[in-house]
Amino acid sequence: MQEITSKFTNHLKEALAKSLALVVASKQQTVHPIHLLWALLDQKDSIAAKLLVQAGVQRKNLDEYLAQQTAINELPTTIPNLSEETKIILEKAVVTATAHQHSFISTEHLLAGILQVQPDEITHFFAKTSVDMQTLQLQLKQTLALTVQIPLSPNREQDDAMFESDESLDIERALDYFAKDLTNTEYQKNQTPVIGRDQEIARVCTILGRKTKNNPVLVGDPGVGKSAIVEGLAQRITKNSIDSLKGHKVYALNLASLIAGTMYRGSFEARLQQLIDELRNEPKSILFIDELHTIVGSGSNQGSLDAANILKPALARGEIRCIGATTYEEYKKWIESDGALERRFQKISVEEPSKEETRAILSGVKQSYGKHHGVRYSDAIIDYVLDLAEEHFPDKRFPDKAIDILDEIGSYARNQNKEIKTITQSLVIEALSQATGISTQTIKRQTKQVLGDLDKTLKKNVLSQDKIIDNIVHHLKRAHAGLANTKKPLSSFLFVGPSGVGKTELAKQIAKAFFNGSRPLLRLDMSEYKEAFNASKLLGAPAGYVGYKDTNVLADHVRNYPRSVILFDEIEKAHPDIHNLLLQILEEGSIRDASGRELSFGQSIVILTSNAGRELFEKGSMGFGSEETLKSQNVRSALEDILRPELMNRLDDICVFDKLDDQTLIQIANKKLDELTQRIKEKGLLCEMSREIAGTIVKLSLKKLGARGIDRTITQHIEPIILDAIIASKRIKTCTICCKNDGFVLK
């Protein structure tokens, strides 16, 4: 008896104690089944209480019913007895737990005993309060099946009639409940065919054929097709294409359902052990665990073993065969850190397929997706989808990103009002724009066309820096042609020169002309990153530090807008930690944020600006205008005072901006005056500028400030005059500004 009561859970012990207390408080001698029912309902958070509430049993109704029953008082006693029905119910509870091979006895087992015995008073109460006993029995049966493990023995207790009422819910094998048979012909009818990956599938078959350590684990980036390899293996087994695996079955484990309901110590181990026993008894079975790293720590409770430690012995002895799949990060964090677990598996690296391989994959699956959406994908559309996926989603992997676009297009087309049979480029653009928020104009733009006109566009907006613009366009064309290292950013430059010569402006114009996105430029003012702790603003603070969950300026921008210019303005003011960050970005083209997620700069342009060597520019003795002078030791020394040599060597080009001559400054002044007149025209005032105004503005400006000096002069001398005209615009509709004695007057 003591051995049985030791299996009682705290919920059950408390419920039994409450039933005794209720009998004593009611001044009765005997514990009847109705008292047990009341105690179960009162035991909040227990499984039995939740089932009773779901079935419609209300505490108020039960209290009223008990009050009527206790009107017929027995002689009071301090030690209540158990009625015969109550004893039978307790016995049934023990039998139910044993029949399900549970290592504990809890409230759900006691409720099962009540429903099996069906005492008259409870049957009467359920009928009176419209509680459907059959529904309650069915819910309890399903709960017991999920609570720990699926029953092994088909010959259950004969008196457990409620568990034999619904044959459709009888599940004899844990594999049928906790895993999906990927080789099932009905399942495969709705699956997309797996194209390619012959080498990886062959390697999986080789490892599965080993006597020991016959457990392959597929490791690769998200979206490269690890799970698809297992699907492809199952498809080939079904077609009898693999002689060594004929008649085999591949079961995909549902770890979440395996863990569900295992709230007590020993329950998860029992369930998983049953699964292992079934796999051991079925030699031609292969278990597939997607996200293999999740078995580490899964199911452990109150000091019990986790799934990984339960599986290790069976894997080591070769009693079961298992295929795992996980990412590089998770493999390193969870699998490699456990040497015993790592030895059980043979690692297979799954690389991202090339563009050509992905084209073959899309050609193979387009019919399946076309049939699902009721559309047709042409070969030209497949090529277009590949180009868009490569250009707009550099942070994702082939083939997943291309298949996502294919699926998105089909769904978008099906939801249109008009019938669409064939997918067109315009439809692809509309669908992708809706899904990503990228403007249709941006998607339509072909990089080749942009590069063809880029030099003209930049020279029109940034004056007197033609040689630098030619070099920049050359590097961008080289990157687009695939001649540059594809892992690095598209291009990287250091803009050096005095203030006001157009360094930041050129970066802005490159972003606008080349990318033309919603946010084509991220400008990082390095004066805000002078201290080491400020570096965390870019990639995020490490876990546990202040600001861990705050917005990360660089990481968030690159993740959301990978096609953009990243401008590190006045790099000489940045902390050395920022320089270390740039070393990795420029060399590898990627970096990890504080959360460990990879950020790709493969579609970004990185630009640094610096005012280094201002004295040399002002003296003019160094002649910072030619490549020959740029290579001189004196100039390199000036730059190395602020930048480490290894950082400069990683840049595609160091662009030294020429000082602006008077003629260029006059052109800039005219350009800015045109912009000003256009703005005030929108205010209802038509303003004309005399031809000599630009020259006068240049005379009044500090030439060493370059274009910024022009801005300052216009703000100080021209805008006040226009402001007066705008205020008086009710009387004045047009005005002319002229020069007078090196000043400006309004006519």
Dihedral pair phi/psi, residue 492, rounded to 5°:
-145, 135
b/e map 698-726, b = 16+ CB within 10 Å: bebbebebbbebbbbbbeebbeebbeebb
Contact between 673 and 736 under an 8 Å Cβ cutoff? The reply is no
Residue 67: per-residue pLDDT? 85
* Distance from C-alpha of 229 to C-alpha of 157, rounded to nearest angstrom: 44
> What tokens were used for 37?
């029912």
Query: Which residues of the chain register pLDDT less than 70?
Result: 1-3, 70-78, 146-172, 261-267, 299-304, 417-418, 446, 517-518, 541-551, 613-636, 728-732
Q: Which residues are registered as beta bridge partners of 568?
A: 524, 608
List the structure tokens of 371.
Answer: 């049939």
What DSSP assignment string belongs to 308-332?
HHHHHHHHHTTSSEEEEEE-HHHII
d(CA 659, CA 635): 16
CATH number of 662-746: 1.10.8.60
Query: What residue spans of 171-213 are helical by DSSP H?
Result: 174-178, 185-189, 198-208
Helix 400-414 crosses helix 425-436 at what angle (to 10 degrees)? 100
The H or E element containing residue 521 is: strand 521-525
Taking Cα atoms as reference points, which of 745, 651, 662, 677 lies closest to residue 710? 662
Q: What would the CATH number be for the domain defined by 355-442?
A: 1.10.8.60
Is the distance from CB of 235 to CB of 188 less than 8 angstroms? yes
Residues whose CB is less than 8 angstroms from the CB of residue 141 and which lie 6 or more positions away in sequence, other chains included: 162, 163, 165, 166, 169
In angstroms, rounded to a whole number, what is the distance separating the alpha carbons of residues 624 and 651?
19
The correct CATH number of 176-349 out of 3.40.50.720, 3.90.550.10, 3.50.4.10, 3.40.50.300 is: 3.40.50.300
CA distance 353 to 629: 46
Q: Single out the residue of 501, 438, 535 nearest to residue 659, CA to CA.
A: 501
Q: Which residues pair with 181 in a beta bridge?
A: 251
Question: In this predicted structure, what is the pLDDT of residue 170?
Answer: 41
- For the domain spanning 447-656, the CATH number is 3.40.50.300
Q: What is the pLDDT of residue 105?
A: 87
E strands, 210-336, where? 216-219, 249-253, 285-290, 321-326
Residue 96: CA count within 13 A, CB half-sphere: 31
Phi-psi region of 613 (alpha: psi -120 to 50; beta: other; left: phi over 0): left
Q: What angle do CA 682, 686, 692 make, to 5 degrees?
A: 120
Q: What residue ranges do the domains of the chain occupy?
A: 2-166, 176-349, 355-442, 447-656, 662-746
Cα separation of the two ends of the chain: 112
SS3 449: helix
Tell me if 199 sits within 8 A of 351, measured CB to CB: no
For the CA atoms of the chain, what is the radius of gyration? 38
Q: Among residues 293, 292, 310, which one has the least CA distance to residue 301?
A: 310
The domain defined by 2-166 folds into Double Clp-N motif (1.10.1780)
- Do 355-442 and 176-349 fall under one CATH topology? no
pLDDT at 150: 46
